[in-house]
Every structure is written in structure tokens, then in C-alpha cells.
Amino acid sequence: MSRFANPSPYGTHRVIEPRGVLPQAAWKIDNTMEPAANEILIDVRTLNIDSASFTQIKQEVGAEPAAIAAKVLDIVRQRGKMHNPVTGSGGMLIGSVRTVGAALRGRIDLTPGDRIATLVSLSLTPLQIERIKTVHVERDQIDIDGRAILFETGLYAKLPADIPETTALAILDVAGAPAQTARLVHAGDTVVVIGGGGKSGTLCVYEAKKRAGPTGCVIGVSPFAADCERMRALGWADHALQVDARDALALMRSVAELTGGRLADVTINCVNIANTEMGSILATREGGRIYFFSMATSFTAAALGAEGVGKDVEMIVGNGYARGHAEHALNLLRESPALRRLFEELYA
């Protein structure tokens, strides 16, 4: 008998404090490795720490592996999860399934031994670290001996046999972006991808061109010459625009020039810097749609910005999850050797 008599699909039975919230909002969760009937127990191999969190830890304790390891152990001991108290962010993990709870058997496609990546944040995942083996300072990863729990509503992806683990991890981390792009973009659309030279932006440019087709037009935006050169070399963007998206009027003028004043039907914002909401709004046509995938987006800047210039656009909050997003993202690497090469060289 598990100690959790009536386990919630959201894992609230493991919340210790404050009571009544969901695991992500909790300061401390119960990381006992006795799984409830609806939980999956995982042998963890690698923690892929969120970039903001890893950067903060290095700033606080220095870049020595031993110091980073001690800090990570300390956070997990305090909170029962690798939830950085300063940045509020987590990361993902990879490991293999040890047990699948009785209530889930036959309902999900996992069996013990399967290699998986969790697609929910470490900020809500019960974790116990027995031993830290290696801290890979250069790629924000930590190899450990340990265990973790995945809740019934927790997302995961089985790791494919045909793609190296680190490459798979790199793309799974941003799997929501191309899946949402596929839904948003239709044949013939003009699409602006702000931050089109970055990791998620490249995937959006690729997917947008696939959906918009030869009659559509995809415009990748970056303030960096190197990003623009790469976009041109890859060839998926119809135009690579070297503009700083924080200069809203400059971005609008450039997009207007490229589109004969028509502006974008769909704008996808993928840059992790602040103050690009107004640029996104001005680059988009009346009645168009804006997808904010960037975590640096300010809700009020977007809402008041559109009202302030009288622009009737639909602005969507990026959801990192879409049904089937992991398989969708991995398939992009399978269909495009150029994309796969890029991910293997640049991000893995």
C-alpha cells in the first residue's frame, strides 16, 4: 500500500507547503520514492538544468563543478525538487522507467526500462539525488544517480533510437514552438519570426515555411549579422532582416517595405529579451495573430500596447505543450538533414 491513499493526477498529494497549491507553486514537496498508484518512478541519469537557473547558480557560487553540485544538492534537500528559488525555473531530466503505477498500466505506452525525457519542469518534479557524478558546466547538464516521480498528468517523450540523446534533448526542450507554428500558419501567409536565428526561432522559421508554402513569405528577424547569415544559408526564410525588435518603428518599417505595406499575417516572438511586444504588434496586420513564445513577454505591455495604437490583433500566450509536440519536433530532425546537422553542431 502506498502512503498516498487518494493521489491527485496533478500531484497535489505531495505538496507539503503551502497547502492547497499545485506542486509547481509549492515551496516544498514530498520526494519520498514510494510511488502512488498513479505515479511513474524514474531512474534518473541526467538533469538538464534550465539555462536561467544554471546561469544564476554559477553567478552565486562560481563555476567550479563541486560548488555547483553542492548548491544543487542543497536546493533539492530543501524543496524536494530542483526548483531554483531565485529564478523560479527548473529544467528537464532524462532517465529510464523503473516502475509504472498499477492505476496507469495498460493506459499509457511506458514499460520498465524505457528511456524517457520528462517534458514537465523540474520545478514540479519530486527528485532524490543519491550522488552527483559529473557537472557538465559548458552545457548546463548534471549526470547523477537518483530517482524522480512523474505525475499522472506529467508529460514525457520516449527517447528515440535513431537520434543521439543530447540532440533529442535540445529539440525536446523547445518542442512546443514548431507544433504551435504548424497550427497557426496557413498556405500563403506572411510570417514574421522575431528571433528567427535562435534555437526555437530556427524551428519556427522551418515549420512556417513548410506551412506557408511557395506562395507564402517567411521573414526571420535578428539584430545579429551572424544569425541573418545563417538564416540565409539555411534557406528557409524568404528574407533575413537584421533589425533590433526593441525598435518597434524600425521593425514595422522594414516589414512594411518587404511586404508592400501589407505586414505580417502571423508574428511569432521567440526572443528572450524584454520590450519586443510593441515591435511584434506594429509588424502585424490588422486582424493578424501574434504568438508570444518568449518568457520575457510582459502581459500588460502586450495588452496596453495593442490598445494604445488601436490595433485589432489576437495575441496568444505561448503554451509549451501541444498534443503530440515531442514526436512532431523529433520528426523535423528526421525529415531535414540540414536541421539535424544544425542541432548536432550548435545545440547538443
Residue 302 binding its own copies, by CB under 8 A: yes
Residue 137 corresponds to which cell in the numbers above?
558546466
Residue 29 binding its own copies, by CB under 8 A: no
Q: Binding segment for its own copies among 28-36, 227-235, 258-266, 304-312 (CB under 8 A)?
A: 304-312
Residue 310 binding its own copies, by CB under 8 A: yes
Which one among 226, 295, 338, 346 touches its own copies, defined by CB under 8 A? 295
**Smallest distance from the beta carbon of 273 to its own copies, in angstroms?**
14
Please give the full DSSP string across 291-323, using - where no structure is assigned.
EE--TT--HHHHHHHHHHTT---EEEE--S--T
Residue 307 binding its own copies, by CB under 8 A: yes
Supply φ then ψ for residue 304, to 5 degrees: -70, -30
> How far is Cα 218 from Cα 212, in angstroms, rounded to an integer?
8
Residue 154 binding its own copies, by CB under 8 A: yes
Question: Total residues contacting its own copies (rule CB under 8 A)?
Answer: 52
Residue 248 binding its own copies, by CB under 8 A: yes
Residue 94 pairs with which residues in a beta bridge?
Answer: 46, 117
Q: Binding segment for its own copies among 55-63, 104-112, 147-155, 256-264 (CB under 8 A)?
A: 147-155
Q: Binding segment for its own copies among 190-198, 225-233, 243-251, 334-342 (CB under 8 A)?
A: 243-251
Residue 321 binding its own copies, by CB under 8 A: yes
Q: Which is nearer to its own copies, 52 or 237 (CB)?
A: 52
Residue 274 binding its own copies, by CB under 8 A: no
Q: Binding segment for its own copies among 52-60, 70-78, 137-145, 295-303 (CB under 8 A)?
A: 295-303
Which one among 63, 66, 233, 317 touches its own copies, defined by CB under 8 A? 317
Name all contacts of 9-17 with Cβ < 8 Å and 24+ positions apart.
9/38, 9/151, 9/152, 9/153, 10/151, 10/152, 10/153, 11/39, 11/124, 11/126, 11/149, 11/151, 11/152, 11/153, 11/154, 14/80, 14/126, 14/149, 16/80
Q: Binding segment for its own copies among 93-101, 138-146, 234-242, 297-305 (CB under 8 A)?
A: 297-305
Q: What is the dihedral of CA 123, 343, 144, 72, to 10 degrees?
A: -40
Which one among 54, 206, 292, 343 touches its own copies, defined by CB under 8 A? 292
> How far is Cα 47 from Cα 45, in angstroms, rounded to an integer?
7
Residue 93 pairs with which residues in a beta bridge?
Answer: 47
Supply φ then ψ for residue 22, to 5 degrees: -85, 160
Single-letter amino acid, residue 43 = D
Single-letter amino acid, residue 215 = T
Strands 190-194 and 217-222: parallel
Three-state DSSP class for residue 117: strand
> How far is Cα 272 from Cα 195, in angstroms, rounded to an integer?
8
Residue 176 binding its own copies, by CB under 8 A: yes
Which one among 30, 298, 344, 347 touches its own copies, defined by CB under 8 A? 298
Tell me the per-residue interface mask from 120 to 139 with its own copies, x by CB under 8 A, - otherwise: xx-xx---------------
The binding site for its own copies (CB under 8 A) comprises 8, 10, 12, 20-25, 88, 119-121, 123-124, 153-155, 176, 247-249, 278, 286, 292, 295, 297-300, 302-323
